[in-house]
């Protein structure tokens, strides 16, 4: 008898990125948007967060990490961020169980 189930033996633990924006510090995608431009794999998108999707100020244009799986962890987005010291963007790596590819 095996002590580990077959499904557990077919998974691996990998460190995956977790990206968070502090919108109190972020200038918004319209006024700044440097993180969107610096990201080579295009992890980020910018969306209008106003009523009915209409934006009236730069703060209404919210950058969101829509394709986190493409993040390489280079942190170029943080390097170009004018509000990096205020932690406008935070990237951490967390363990995740992923299916093992054969």
72: Cβ–Cβ under 8 A, 6 or more apart, which residues? 40, 41
| Residue extents of the structural domains in the chain | 13-99
Model's pTM, two decimal places? Answer: 0.72
- Pick among 3.40.50.880, 3.30.420.10, 3.40.50.620, 3.30.70.20: CATH of 13-99: 3.30.70.20
Confidence of residue 15 (pLDDT cuts 50, 70, 90): confident
63 membership: H or E segment, kind and range? strand 61-65
Q: pLDDT for 49-85, tens place per residue?
A: 766 656 566 667 788 899 998 999 999 999 999 999 9
């Amino acid at each position: 008898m095996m002590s580990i189930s077959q499904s557990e033996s077919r998974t691996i633990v990998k460190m995956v990125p977790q990206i968070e924006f502090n919108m109190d510090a972020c200038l918004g995608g319209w006024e700044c948007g440097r993180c969107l431009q610096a990201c080579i794999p295009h992890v980020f998108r910018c969306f209008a967060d106003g009523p009915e999707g209409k934006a009236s100020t730069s703060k209404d244009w919210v950058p969101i990490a829509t394709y986190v799986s493409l993040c390489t962890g280079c942190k170029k987005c943080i390097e170009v961020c004018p509000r990096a010291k205020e932690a406008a963007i935070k990237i951490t790596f967390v363990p995740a169980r992923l299916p093992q590819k054969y």
